[in-house]
A and B are shown apart, each in its own frame.
Chain A
Amino acid sequence: MGLAERISTFWNSFTGNAEFTIAMTVSAIVFAVLYYYLLKFLHDNDSGALMLLFIMSMIIAAGIMTFIPSINSAVFLLVPGVFLIAVLVLYSVEIRRLIWDRKNMRMIDVKHDNLSIDEERAKTCVNEIIKALQNMSKNDVGAIIVLASSNVPNQILDSGVMINSDVSSELIESVFFPKTPLHDGAMIINGTKITAAGCFLPLSQKDNIPKDLGTRHRAGLGVSESLDVVSIIVSEETGIISIARGGQITRYADSEMLKKVLSQYYWQELDGMRK
């Protein structure tokens, strides 16, 4: 039976038999969802080559199966199966972080309609941080702020100076004011307190970071790769505000985006305090 004839038989069965149509549609949807997430994961982790290899392998395998009908078609499933196992092994760290992030995002979703008495303080902190970021942005003052949840290693905190003060825009701007002793390091904010400033962060080792992003951005990205934190970076050259989370950096953050990210962080913190 030729390929055209097989496609024709397949189409006739698909349109003529309701049970067959449902079975094929459901299978196609399941496979499409699986492939989509696999491709998206590879794309997000800059594995273009592996993505291309997967697509090419699928096409070649399908070609072989079509022209050599004696091979059991279930063998075809070995291709996505092997790729899935390879991805699980090669990207175990990234997958673990993905699961961790999903868990946290679910917590954030629940929190918005469940406000506590600390909400006012959280709102003040959000506004103070945004005000400081915007002032530093317009004056081209470089800054890096890490929003943490008591999960920053002592090694990082010890590299800076402990502050333990309430969040205020004046204090943030003073710390990052050029030529002051602490302006070059990172500020760690833990809930409504500025824990430390002038801290050294691990740098990202990714080689696909745009050349116009300097060490400050690399540090913000690096800390978000290894810890469940959000870092906000203000570029000294351009004043552009960037947000790094889960090893991904988003540039050109405006006040709306900042408000969203900071609100998510503070609602997460409030929820943690209630537990």
Chain B
Amino acid sequence: MSDKSFQPNTEAANRERTKRIWKHIGLGAIAVGLAIVTVFVLYMGR
């Protein structure tokens, strides 16, 4: 058995957190874009 001490990989955890935040921002931006397109298309039919 190795004798290394317990070291949580905070760098990797932070990288995962940053990735998660960007995922939310990306999906939010796409959702807002599609919502604007929907509203505009519906407006054109009035």
On whether the beta carbons of A251 and B12 are closer than 8 Å, the reply is yes
B16 to chain A, nearest CB (A): 7
Contact A31 B45 (CB under 8 A): no
CB pair B41 A252 closer than 8 Å:
no
Q: In this assembly, does A154 line the interface, its C-beta being within 8 Å of a C-beta of chain B?
A: no
* A65-B36 Cα distance, complex, nearest whole Å: 14
Asked if A55 and B34 make an inter-chain contact with CB atoms under 8 angstroms apart, the answer reads yes
Residues of chain B within 8 A (CB-CB) of A59 are 37
Contact B1 A40 (CB under 8 A): no
For the complex, would chain B's binding face be called helix, strand, loop or mixed by DSSP majority? helix
Q: How far is the CB of B1 from chain A (nearest CB, A)?
A: 5
With contact pairs A40-B27, A252-B9, A255-B8 given, residues A31 and B41 touching in the complex (Cβ less than 8 Å): no
Contacts of A7 in B (CB 8 A): 40
Q: Does B18 contact A (CB under 8 A)?
A: no
Chain B, residues 8-40, CB within 8 Å of chain A (1/0): the string is 111011001000000110011011101111111
Q: Does any Cβ of B come within 8 Å of A254's Cβ?
A: yes
Within 8 A of B (CB), among A58-79: 58-59, 61-62, 65-66, 69, 72-74, 76-77
A72 to B46, CA, bound (A): 9
Hey, which chain A residues are within 8 Å of B36, CB to CB? 28
Residues 1-22 of chain A: 1 if any B CB is under 8 Å from the residue's CB, otherwise 0? 0000011001001000000000
- 22 A-B pairs (CB sep. < 8 Å): A10-B40, A28-B35, A29-B35, A30-B35, A36-B31, A39-B30, A40-B24, A43-B27, A55-B30, A58-B38, A61-B41, A65-B45, A72-B45, A73-B45, A76-B41, A135-B6, A137-B6, A138-B4, A140-B1, A141-B1, A254-B8, A257-B13
Binding site for A on B (CB under 8 A): 1-2, 4-6, 8-10, 12-13, 16, 23-24, 27-28, 30-32, 34-46
